[in-house]
Chains A and B, each alone.
Chain A
Amino acid sequence: MTIPSPESENTMSNLTVPTPAASSPSTPSHPSDAGEVLRVENLRKIYNEGKPHAKTAIDDVSFTVNKGEFVCIVGPSGAGKTTLLRCISGLAKPSSGSLSFEGRPLTSVPEQLGLVFQDYGRSLYPWFTNAKNVGLPLAARGMKKAERAERVSQVLKNVGLGHVEKQYPWELSGGMQQRVAIARALSYQPDLLLMDEPFASVDAQTRFDLEDLILTVRRDLGITVVLVTHDIDEAIYLSDRIVVLSGSPSRVREVVDVPLGDHREQVATRASDEFLGLRRHLLDLVMPHSA
């Protein structure tokens, strides 16, 4: 069932929103920073386990994500990327293997996790204004109304949106709607931002804007990001490390380091030799004929 148990509510109402250590903008983040945010070990997910039509979506996946890192997960379509993301976000239970979030075993969606889905049209609540959408997780955490309004306008500013509080999501363009969805995931200052193909439903120009936005947000807030995508260029442009999955059932084919530095520009970075070299390498890994 989709509704969490009442116990989780009780523990939640006692909590105020903790300010994550990494959120101070003065400390630039590096992959080398100590502290493990996410550890995935021998994860395996089988749908309809024990039945004749059982299907193994994820065979064996292990990787870790350190504090402040930007990690992209790429793989051919149908590689179980979304399944993997559902497992590491706590929305789905893995069949075997272990998952830990900030050192604790992951059983349900962690408090300090922000999620952004591909389809903003489906994840935003069209019956609420943008302000109410963004403030919803804050209200769930018991934040007072005045403080909430302040935080909402602040986080909307962070994602580059002006005064859209009183408007409804469907009154905005697709790119702006996805910004609202990102703002909502950021509003409670999570330690880890998980994104599932977040820019797949917008046009190319908006996509570039949103990619740069997420890099800026990550730099300003020092947040850890895990992003699932099928777009290799996007993965290289954004990440510090890329986890490359094989086709279904997925395994980790390789974890590729992306030494492109902290400052990236759409045109220059994508034209650089390092970028093109990485691109060639990744295409070799992902393309079916290279198997």
Chain B
Amino acid sequence: MTQTITPEVVPERAAGASIGETTDLLVSPRRVRSRGARVRNVLLAIWLPIALLVIWWFASASSTSPFFPPLSRILEEFWAQWIVGPASMQLGSSLRNLALGYLGGALIGIVFGTLLWRFPPVRHVSNPLIYFLYVLPAPALLPAMIALFGIGELRQIALISFGAIWPTLLNTLDGMRGLDQVKFDTARAMKLSPLRQLFSLVLPGASPQIAAGLRASLQTSIILMVVTEMVAAKQGIGYFILQAQTVFAITSMWTGILMLAIIGTAANYLFVGVERIVLRWYYRSRALTNS
């Protein structure tokens, strides 16, 4: 090895274009043909989650453990707290911070990833610093941010953004570096301007891997949202959960966990939905070539 660990920035290949990739289990490209098969598939997909819920319901029904209250009570409390109750305020604050922080970080990641791709010397020089910031566990910076800026929503958003930058940036860079040279030759032959090359070739060409980065950034953002609320805020779901835990309001705490599960799942499905539309060409062309 002529290089140590740091120099070559290697991407989050989570759902990128390479062989060791992750795809969602639920959105497998398999085409469903008949209606009967479709019903069968839906049943296959939902029976186990429902069964687990039923088991949870009955197993916890007569529970006396302080940590595991009956599911029925959790759901009642969930309704009282989050749907009609005061906790819905916490939800708004959390979601706003998450959205602003995530989108800001993602945008920065894409812009700077593109710039680093465009200027190889800058990339070469800044490589170790970027790698350091990428592998630095972002929550470790939280105390420093508190020390530096105090407590407040803007700081929370800033930290979420900071964590969201790196997976997107590295994937953007790697996706662009992986673009086929023939496509650039073609662009030159067609006399595409630099700006048109960016929007007609570079960004769409790297989009599958950018999406992989965005997905990783989303997961980091949710973690950071909760951590910032637990450590450095007086509102939000994380604050709610930790507060409930400190006063031993276990059922309330469970409702918060449930809410977070819902947010995480919803954010994930929203992302996959948007990705399916934006990258329709990618998934469909891949399904065609693989069949």
Asked whether the complex places CB atoms of A and B closer than 8 A, the reply is yes
A111 to B190, CA, bound (A): 8
Give chain A's interface residue range (CB within 8 Å of chain B): 35 or more
Q: Which of B189, B195, B201, B204 contacts A109 (CB 8 A)?
A: B189
Binds A, one of B5-13, B36-44, B105-113, B178-186: B178-186
Closest CB-CB distance, B285 to chain A, in whole Å?
A: 4
Of all chain B residues, which has the CB nearest A122? B182
Indicate whether B230 reaches chain A with its CB closer than 8 angstroms: no
A140 and B205 form a contact (CB under 8 A): no
* B200 in contact with A114 (CB, 8 Å): no
* Interface check A18, CB cutoff 8 A: no
Known contacts A117-B182, A119-B182, A125-B204; decide if A91 and B190 are in contact (CB<8 Å). no
Tell whether, in the assembled complex, residue A127 and residue B207 are in contact, meaning their CB atoms are under 8 Å apart: yes
Q: Judge if B187 is at the interface, Cβ distance under 8 Å.
A: yes
B249 at the interface (CB under 8 A from A): no
Chain A residue with Cβ nearest B192:
A140
Majority secondary structure, B binding face = helix
Q: Is the CB of A136 within 8 A of B182?
A: no
Say whether B51 faces chain A, with CB atoms less than 8 Å apart. no
Which residues, 129 to 185 on B, are CB-close (under 8 Å) to A? 180-185
The A135-149 residues at the B interface (CB cut-off 8 A) are 136-137, 139-141
Please tell me if A9 contacts chain B, counting CB pairs below 8 Å. yes
Q: Contact partner of B200 among A89, A108, A125, CB < 8 A?
A: A125
Q: Within 8 Å CB of B183, what residues of A?
A: 122-123, 125
Interface residues of B in 204-245 (CB under 8 A from A): 204-205, 207
Q: Which of A12, A86, A109, A117 has a CB less than 8 Å from the CB of B193?
A: A12
Candidate in B181, B185, B205 with the most chain A CB atoms within 10 angstroms: B185
With contacts A126-B281, A168-B281 taken as known, whether A137 is within 8 angstroms of B185 at the C-beta atoms is no
The residue in chain A whose Cβ has the minimal distance to the Cβ of B289 is A170
B196, CB-defined interface residue at 8 Å: yes
B189 touches A115 (CB 8 A): yes
- Evaluate contact between B281 and A127: CB separation under 8 angstroms: yes
Set of chain A residues within 8 Å of B207, measured between Cβ atoms = 127
CA distance A137 to B193 in the complex (A): 10
Chain B residue nearest to A181 in the complex (CB): B186
Is there an interface contact between A137 and B190, defined as CB atoms closer than 8 Å?
yes
Interface string of B264-277 (1 = CB under 8 A from A): 00000000000000
- How distant is the Cα of A13 from the Cα of B195 in the complex, in angstroms? 13
A127 interface neighbour in B180, B196, B282, B289, Cβ under 8 Å: B282
B291 to chain A, nearest CB (A): 12
Q: B191 within 8 Å of A by Cβ?
A: yes
A interface, CB within 8 angstroms of B? 1-4, 6, 8-9, 12-13, 86, 89, 91, 108-109, 111, 113-115, 117, 119, 122-123, 125-128, 136-137, 139-141, 168, 170-171, 184-185
| Pairs A–B under 8 Å by Cβ, sample size 23 | A1-B118, A2-B184, A2-B187, A2-B188, A2-B197, A3-B194, A4-B194, A9-B193, A91-B185, A91-B188, A91-B189, A108-B188, A114-B189, A115-B186, A122-B183, A126-B282, A127-B204, A127-B205, A127-B281, A127-B282, A136-B200, A140-B196, A168-B285
Contacts A9-B193, A122-B180, A125-B201 supplied; 20 other A-B pairs, CB < 8 Å = A2-B197, A4-B191, A6-B193, A9-B195, A12-B191, A91-B189, A109-B188, A109-B189, A114-B189, A119-B182, A122-B182, A123-B185, A123-B186, A125-B200, A127-B204, A127-B205, A136-B200, A140-B190, A170-B281, A185-B189
